[in-house]
Amino acid sequence: MKIGLDTMGGDFAPENEVLGALEALPELQENSCIVLFGDEKLIKAVCKKQGADPSCFEIVHTTEIIGMHDHPAKAFAQKPDSSMAAGFKALSSGMIDGFASPGNTGAMMAGVMYTVRTIEGILRPCISCFYPFIGGGSGLLLDVGLNADCKAENLYQYAILGSLYLKGVTGMEAPRVALLNIGEEESKGNLLMKAAHEMMSKTNHFHFVGNIEGNEVFTGKKADVVVCDGFVGNVVLKMAESFYHLALRQGIETDFFGKLNYESHGGTPVLGVNAPVIIGHGSSSPKAIKNMILITEKTVKAKLVEKVKSVITKTAFPDNAG
């Protein structure tokens, strides 16, 4: 398997990217290799500084950079030889199996739309995030920020995507899927959640367990996959991440709080698109980059795309989706 990494898009590029890739190497499976997209000279310089042999990577030399302030959609047309554009080209052609970048999120999504595109039948892709359970293990939260205004149909598809993805990544037979709501009963919530609950309660696409509330997310007692719109998911994700820092401010370091730190998962998989794409924080540390690469490997192995296609083409939608 070939895992592509954009080394030029992050705030500390390419140093943190190359350092993270070096850290990831010993943890990857035997048949996996990392393909670095970026300025070959700079990449080799970081390797040299670390006493590492650059030939442990494949390097695709690029001359342009899509920065954090580039216009997401325009950057692609204007910078065809950027590390990000080259990565997506390689992903689209099958030269690499998955692509990860800590670069401009908007440009990453533009890259997805211009190259690998959304899986046919998926209304809108989403981004997802692993989060820890207090007793060990982890759940998947989605959407964590791509679509701030959702319809019930979107949430229904997120549930399919999240369920298949978690199954693919962990081998879990039937992940428990819940809606993040403000009451247990099906009559609770806003209009969106009521409609989504009605749609999901009839499903045989995933193991729907009903609503959970904000205090039940991290217990892991009720759900493995937590579905919400991208507005709620983003607020929840950022708040959860902040508890890592809030704990640190109080001198507290625990395994659980550590896992709330974005570095521990490293990136958010984009689900519902035709190839594995992982988006990381712009300010990713080497540790975050390492974990982003590892999650990309897992995502490739999950073979989500084929699985989603088979479900979506069989029954793109529940009967009452109209």
First to last CA, the chain: 40
By CB under 8 A, how many residues form the interface with a second copy? 41
Residues from 82 through 141 that contact a second copy (CB under 8 A): 134
Which member of 42, 256, 309, 317 binds a second copy (CB under 8 A)?
256
Q: How far is the CB of 272 from a second copy (least distance, A)?
A: 19
CB closer to a second copy out of 149 and 319: 149
H helices then E strands: how many in the chain? 12, 11
Choose the stretch contacting a second copy; rule: CB under 8 A; options: 12-20, 39-47, 108-116, 183-191: 183-191
Q: How far is the CB of 262 from a second copy (least distance, A)?
A: 10
Residue written as tokens 């962990």? 170
Determine, following the binding rule CB under 8 A, whether residue 236 of this chain makes contact with a second copy.
yes
Q: How far is the CB of 189 from a second copy (least distance, A)?
A: 6
Which member of 50, 63, 201, 254 binds a second copy (CB under 8 A)?
254
Residue written as tokens 């975050």? 288
Four-point Cα dihedral 198, 202, 206, 210, nearest 10: 40
Residue 296, classed as helix, strand or coil, is: helix
E strands along the chain, which residues?
Answer: 2-6, 33-38, 58-61, 98-101, 126-132, 138-142, 176-180, 207-212, 225-227, 268-271, 277-279
Please report, as ranges, the residues that interact with a second copy according to CB under 8 A: 134, 145, 148-149, 180, 182, 189-191, 193, 213-219, 228-232, 234-243, 245-247, 249-250, 252, 254, 256-257
